[in-house]
A and B are shown apart, each in its own frame.
Chain A
Amino acid sequence: MKKTEPLIFLERRTYRVRRLIDAIRLVPILGMLLWTIPILIRQDANDPAPISSVMIYIFVIWAILIAASFLLVRWITRTDSSWDSLMSGDETSD
């Protein structure tokens, strides 16, 4: 319950971990944006978008998001930060 003064500057490694967490947070937002693009494609009854390209687009985005998620998680586990500090650290200071 004790309120500590937020530090202004962080150690370099902690700083890096924070930014990795930011990146992890961004993955789903990126996914939401990219997966919305197909529905913005103009609906034209005479010239419908080829279904296969839409499909391939969605799956490629999927694979990219998976790869990004995988790499970020691997990176963050390699920083040796303890799980609890990872979990609670992000809300006190940046």
Chain B
Amino acid sequence: MLNILIGVCLLYVLALFLVAFWAERSALRGRGRWLRSPWVYTLSLSIYCTAWTFYGAVGYAARSGLEYLTIYLGPSLVMFGWWWILRRLVRVGRTQRVTSIADLLSSRFGKSNLLAALVTLLAVVGTTPYIALQLQSVTLSFSAFAEYDATAMSLISHDNSAIIVALGLAFFTILFGTRNLDVNERHHGVVMAIAVEAIVKLFALIAVGVFVVWGVSGGFGAMITTIDQSALVEWKGQGSRWFGLTFLSAAAFLCLPRMFQVLVVENENERHLMTASWAFPTYVMLMSLFVVPIAVVGRNLLPDGSNPDLFVLSIPLSQGNDTLAVLSFLGGFSSATSMVIVASLALATMVSNHVVMPVWLRFTENRASEFGDVRRVITLARRSSIAFVLFLGYLYYSMSGGGEALASIGLVSFTGVVQVLPSMMGGLFWRGATRAGAISGIVVGFVVWVYCLFLPSFGHDLVFSKSFMDLGPYGLAFLRPQALFSITGMDPLVHAIFWSMILNTASFVFISLITFPSPIERLQGAQFVNVFHHSTAARGWSGKVAQSEDLMVMSQRIIGSEQAQNLFRNEARRQGGVGYLPDPTPEFLERLERELAGSVGAATAHAMIAQIVGGTSVSVQDLMAVADETAQIMEYSNRLEAQSNELTRTARQLRQVNEKLTRLSVQKDAFLSQISHELRTPMTSILAFSEILQDGAGLSDDEMTKYASIIHGEATRLTRLLDDLLDLSVLENGQVNLNLLRVDPAALIDRAIATVQAGSGRSNIAIKFAKTESRISLITDPDRLSQVFINLIANARKYCDAQDPELLISMRQRENRIIADFIDNGSGVPNEDQELIFEKFARVGENKAGGAGLGLAICREIIGRLGGEISYLPGQGGGAFRIILPLERS
């Protein structure tokens, strides 16, 4: 029996891996529209229903009657009320590219990392017991089976099943949670897996319920009578707990890190909220429908003293219905695993973004452009954070001994996490909320929670002695942990919720009222509160042109080179320029910061940009915009400012063009003298030697041959120069005939490398060619394309000035284009020459290697004819050229 169970379990886990893997693949290939359906979103919300609710709800009902319903009523109310809070929360989360609840608060309150770290700490403390609870539920359900199968008892002890589960979950989460540092922090594989698990657990619970009502009790009517006869679940109608718990579960629904992850971060489309607004309440209603019948029947059927938390399992087992028992086990298993996966993922994002990254950033201060591969650091930080969080959960589980004490921790945990609520709501709805207010509110709430609920929850004499609980510290009765201010008679849980919330909100509001927010806080506050109006960001940055390249280097290392290059190029296009380096306008910096925030969180992204650009400059105008008081003047001055910006930009462009023209003219003059020189030198020797030959007499045959070959060589050089000129003029006039064939460009590159190396004699450059993909085929003119490749490789050989020159060629296919990069390790082309190198006769600097400066101009013309483009790629640590070619010439 137990062996079968383990087998089923493994199969199930394997199926989950496959589902997750398949979802990731579909998402990667841009297929799988269903991945983005509102149903998947709704189902993913069901991680709210953990093993604590799957098993525990029945136990809860058996102990305290209908009160268990409050745990579901709260979230239902939040979903019904999506228009009030969730709509706003999701929009803010998407526009600010929020990665976690800590990130939301830090972003709202001036990108403060202190606040983010504080929320992270709170979340870790609040979630660890909860993860422990899930591990406990899995081990308990294993042992429930073992009770009916004594032979297998030795096979599984509590501890090793918990550790196996913890390891398995860590593996799954690391595999699918940190595969790609998605800019949006979305994890299709994980979301799909938990959606499947949502169906499994709902189906399992309903199956058990149907079995209990129609299989054991004999129908609906009989069930109602049985329920009414059972004294165990009588309606006590305890008002304060009913209110308190409904509020608590509603608040927890918004504040739990894992809920925030699925509600806001993984949200694909705001419209999904509309479906979820009724579908999610339906889901939790079905989850709670059969809880009371199962509890009542369990009480009647099973011997006294059996654990009501396991009725869902032990009823089918005692009735000998093994299939149902296995199904129910899978349901509990699903609930536990999906919760742990998402919770550890959410916590790991928080820990790595708000604890690890800032520390790391501090160590590498002022060296933004020398960062190592930041992506690797982030991924590593995430992975180790996942392992760390799960390890903490396991540690808590084994320390607490997995006893009854753990079962009551669920609500304790909720109360801790909801300390974020006042600051979050204040941040969303009140522009006057400040960072100091938020920090003080959370700290006060946290302290009250620890003092009134968390520490006492360990039981008497473990942390607080009984006399301490009854008489207060040092006999100060008004500080009794469960009767603050001497107000006695409150339920301990309600007492803690009430006081922590009141004191938290009070200090949040009070400190907010008496402090003054910093400019960034005010800007962010306006953006959060008026999220549906201020769709454009207020500006906080002012950069200098020279910093673009540094920014690009940094972005490449965070969001990946391809994404960064696309971002920069699109921005450059939008600004009306070419190439990869846009002007660092405030708008662009703002956008860049948000893109980076999607990977590393708002605070870190802000700090990283600040390292390069320097401090934030918030102008008086920006503050006036925030104040929103002098809208008329603002608008006028805004327009003036826009115009003056526009003028400045145009002037800058004109200046650039002028400079370019001047340089071109100088170059043209230089070329004329150069070309005269180039033509003159061979001419002179041809003339001289042909005169000698003319006078012929007295020359030996050897000498004759030597002179003739010199004449021939010089004539060849002349011809080559003239050929190049002719070639260029033909290309420029568009009279060229292309000989289009289907070829493998990789083969062309190989051949080009061979040609250059054969022709050079002393080939001192190391050439590496990285073909990343399988065969690419391309319709193009092979001869012309080879000419370009040869030219680029020969250039690298000629101009690369590194100690050990090295050229790295890479080629890959992106959609219907081919991208080939030629990157050497020399000093590259200086910034001011980058736009000139493709011009005719352009030669950078006073260069040793002779050449008429036609090569790159010819390359550009050829690539242009082939329908692609060639450009200089800055920020690669050397001279770098990129060719983009369409697969088929249109």
Contact A1 B625 (CB under 8 A): yes
How many angstroms between the C-alpha atoms of A36 and B270 in the bound complex? 31
How many angstroms between the C-alpha atoms of A54 and B344 in the bound complex? 38
Nearest B-chain residue to A88, judged by Cβ: B532
| A83 proximity list for chain B (CB < 8 A) | 270-271
Residue B155, interface by CB 8 Å: no
Q: Mark A9-41, 1 if CB is under 8 A from B, else 0.
A: 000000000000100110111011001101111
| B80 proximity list for chain A (CB < 8 A) | 27-28, 31, 65, 69
How many angstroms between the C-alpha atoms of A58 and B289 in the bound complex? 10
Given contacts A36-B243, A54-B235, A66-B282, 7 further A-B contacts (CB under 8 A): A3-B631, A28-B81, A38-B235, A51-B235, A65-B281, A69-B277, A91-B532
Interface residues on B, range: 35 or more
The 3 closest A-B pairs by CB, nearest first: A28-B81, A69-B278, A88-B532
Residue B499, interface by CB 8 Å: no
Residue B380, interface by CB 8 Å: no
Contact partner, B533, options A40, A48, A70, A91, Cβ 8 Å: A91
Residue A87, interface by CB 8 Å: yes
How many angstroms between the C-alpha atoms of A2 and B532 in the bound complex? 13
Contact A69 B292 (CB under 8 A): no
Q: Mark B45-86, 1 if CB is under 8 A from A, else 0.
A: 000000000000000000001100100010011101111100
Contact B635 A1 (CB under 8 A): yes
| Interface SS of chain B | helix
Total interface residues on A, CB under 8 Å, equals 41
Jot down 17 A-B pairs with beta carbons below 8 A, ordered by A.
A3-B631, A24-B83, A35-B77, A38-B235, A39-B239, A43-B237, A49-B237, A50-B235, A52-B228, A54-B66, A55-B66, A62-B281, A65-B281, A66-B282, A73-B278, A87-B91, A91-B533
A residues lining the B interface (CB < 8 Å): 1-3, 21, 24-25, 27-29, 31-32, 35-36, 38-41, 43, 48-52, 54-55, 58-59, 62-63, 65-67, 69-70, 73, 76-77, 83, 87-88, 91
Residue B236, interface by CB 8 Å: yes
Contact A39 B237 (CB under 8 A): yes
- Shortest CB distance B813–A (Å): 36
- Shortest CB distance A74–B (Å): 9
- Shortest CB distance A87–B (Å): 5
How many angstroms between the C-alpha atoms of A77 and B278 in the bound complex? 14
Contact A32 B66 (CB under 8 A): no
Contact A35 B81 (CB under 8 A): no
Nearest B-chain residue to A29, judged by Cβ: B81
How many angstroms between the C-alpha atoms of A93 and B262 in the bound complex? 33
| A21 proximity list for chain B (CB < 8 A) | 83
B residues lining the A interface (CB < 8 Å): 65-66, 69, 73, 76-78, 80-84, 87, 91, 224, 227-228, 233-239, 242-243, 246, 270-271, 274-275, 277-278, 281-282, 285, 289, 292, 532-534, 625, 628, 631, 634-635, 638
Given contacts A55-B292, A58-B66, A65-B281, contact A28 B237 (CB under 8 A): no
- Most A C-beta atoms less than 10 A away, residue of B69, B246, B292: B69
Contact B275 A69 (CB under 8 A): no
Contact A87 B271 (CB under 8 A): no
Nearest B-chain residue to A21, judged by Cβ: B83
Nearest B-chain residue to A3, judged by Cβ: B631
- Shortest CB distance A39–B (Å): 4
How many angstroms between the C-alpha atoms of A88 and B242 in the bound complex? 36
Given contacts A1-B534, A58-B69, contact A51 B631 (CB under 8 A): no
- Shortest CB distance A15–B (Å): 17
Contact A25 B532 (CB under 8 A): no
How many angstroms between the C-alpha atoms of A65 and B275 in the bound complex? 14
Given contacts A1-B634, A87-B532, contact A31 B76 (CB under 8 A): yes
Given contacts A55-B227, A88-B532, A91-B533, contact A28 B84 (CB under 8 A): yes
| B246 proximity list for chain A (CB < 8 A) | 35
